[in-house]
Amino acid sequence: MTENYTALYEEHKKLGASFTDFGGWQMPLKYGSELAEHHAVRNSAGIFDLSHMGEVWVTGPDAAAFLDYALAGKISAMAVGKAKYSLICNEDGGIIDDLIVYRRPADAEGHHRFLVVPNAGNAKVVAEALAQRSGSAREGGFEVAVDDVSAATSLIAVQGPKAEEILLRLVPAAQHELVTGLKYYAAVEVSFLVGGASRNLLLARTGYTGEDGFEIFVENDDAAALWQSIVAIADEGELTPSGLASRDSLRLEAGMPLYGNELSLEGDPFAAGLGPVVALSKEGDFVGKAALAAKKEAGAGSTSGRKLVGLKGLGRRAGRGHYPVLKDGNVVGEVTSGQPSPTLGYPVAMAYVDVAYAEPGTALDIDLRGKAEPFEVVALPFYKRSK
Amino acid sequence: MAKVAAELQYSDEHEWVSRENGNVVSIGISAVATDALGDIVYVDLPEVGSAVTAGETCGEVESTKSVSDLYSPVTGEVTEINPVVIEDPALINNDPYGAGWLFKVAADSEGPLLSAEEYAAKNGGEL
pLDDT tens by residue, A30-62: 999 999 999 999 999 999 999 999 999 999 999
pLDDT on residue A1: 56
| φ, ψ at A225 (rounded to 5°) | -65, -40
pLDDT on residue A140: 64
Distance CA A271, CA A180 (A): 37
Encode pLDDT of A217-248 as tens digits. 999 999 999 999 999 987 777 899 999 999 99
Contact A373, A319 (CB under 8 A): yes
Confidence band of A138 (pLDDT split at 50, 70, 90):
low
pLDDT on residue A219: 97
Encode pLDDT of A154-205 as tens digits. 999 999 999 999 999 999 999 999 999 999 999 999 999 888 889 999 999 9
Per DSSP, what are the bridge partners of residue A20?
A27
> Which whole number is the average pLDDT over A376-381?
97
Distance CA A103, CA A129 (A): 19
pLDDT on residue A293: 98
Distance CA B31, CA B5 (A): 9
For residue A18, which residues of chain B lie inside 8 Å, CB to CB? 35
Among chain A residues, the shortest Cα distance to B43 is held by: A317
In this complex, the residue of A30, A318, A320 whose CB is nearest that of residue B38 is A30
pLDDT on residue A139: 59
For residue A34, which residues of chain B lie inside 8 Å, CB to CB? 38-39, 64-65
Residue A141 clears pLDDT 80, i.e. is over it: no
Question: Cα Rg for chain B, rounded, in angstroms?
Answer: 13
pLDDT on residue A386: 82
For residue B40, which residues of chain A lie inside 8 Å, CB to CB? none
Confidence band of B104 (pLDDT split at 50, 70, 90):
very high
**What is the average pLDDT value for chain B, to the nearest integer?**
95
Distance CA A141, CA A136 (A): 5
Residue A137 clears pLDDT 60, i.e. is over it: no
pLDDT on residue A135: 80
Q: Which of A331, A351, A328 is nearest to A339 (CA)?
A: A351
Helix ranges (DSSP H) in chain A: 9-14, 34-43, 63-70, 123-136, 163-168, 176-180, 220-233, 244-253, 289-297
Distance CA A250, CA A237 (A): 19
Encode pLDDT of A1-12 as tens digits. 568 999 999 999
How far out from the chain centre does Cα B51 lie?
A: 16
Contact A219, A7 (CB under 8 A): no
Encode pLDDT of B39-74 as tens digits. 999 999 999 999 999 999 999 999 988 889 999 999
Among chain B residues, the shortest Cα distance to A317 is held by: B42
Our CA-based measurement puts residue B115 at a distance from the nearest CA of chain A, in whole angstroms, of 27
Encode pLDDT of A73-122 as tens digits. 999 999 999 999 999 999 999 999 999 999 999 999 989 999 999 999 99
Sign of CA dihedral A145, A150, A153, A154: positive
State whether B64 and A342 contact (CB < 8 Å).
yes
Residue B21 clears pLDDT 90, i.e. is over it: no
pLDDT on residue B64: 87
B67 in reach of chain A (CB within 8 A): yes
Cis omega before residue A61 (within 30°)?
A: no
pLDDT on residue A33: 93
Question: Cα Rg for chain A, rounded, in angstroms?
Answer: 21
| φ, ψ at A139 (rounded to 5°) | -45, 115
pLDDT on residue A282: 95
ipTM of the prediction: 0.81
Residue type, B121: A
Encode pLDDT of A120-135 as tens digits. 999 999 999 999 999 8
**What is the average pLDDT value for chain A, to the nearest integer?**
95
Question: Which percentage of chain A shows pLDDT scores above 90?
Answer: 92
pTM above 0.90, yes or no: yes
Distance CA A74, CA A67 (A): 8
